[in-house]
Amino acid sequence: MFRLRVKDTFSAAHSLRYYQGKCEAMHGHNFEVEVEVQGDVLEDKTEILFDFKKLKRLLKSVLEQLDHTCLNDLTYFQQVNPSSENIAKYIFDQLKKELPDRIRLNYVMVAEGKNSMAFYEQRSCVL
């Protein structure tokens, strides 16, 4: 099993609906994002799992949709509270669509700061 991780950042504002605390007010973060992919088979000629540049470019294209926005104004987050957990799920769902079938997206981590991180991963049920 081979695994790759890449990181990037984006800046955005959000307010957490129903929070009943300071975070219910509009505020911003410089979010840090980390993604990990895995696979069993390396490409034939290059003997790499997936090009780091391609993975970084795919992540960047997803984060550009969020960067310098008010997350609450985006269609997805008008129905879903823009918590770090839900931001991680949004990034996961968008990124997963762009990856080849042979590459499994393990998780997306979104950090509001160095001590506050949320992870999203999909577990498959094996019976």
Enumerate domains of the chain plus CATH numbers. Answer: 2-120 (3.30.479.10)
Residue with tokens 């762009």: 98
At residue 5, the pLDDT reads 98
Average per-residue pLDDT in the chain? 95
Catalytic site residues? 23, 68, 112
Q: Indicate the SS3 state at residue 25.
A: coil
CB 4 within 8 A of CB 36: yes
Q: What is the mean pLDDT of residues 14-40?
A: 96
Q: Name the CA radius of gyration of the chain, rounded.
A: 16
Confidence label for 83 from pLDDT (cuts 50, 70 and 90)? very high
Q: 75 phi and psi, to 5 degrees?
A: -50, -50
At residue 126, the pLDDT reads 59
CB 46 within 8 A of CB 102: no
At residue 123, the pLDDT reads 78
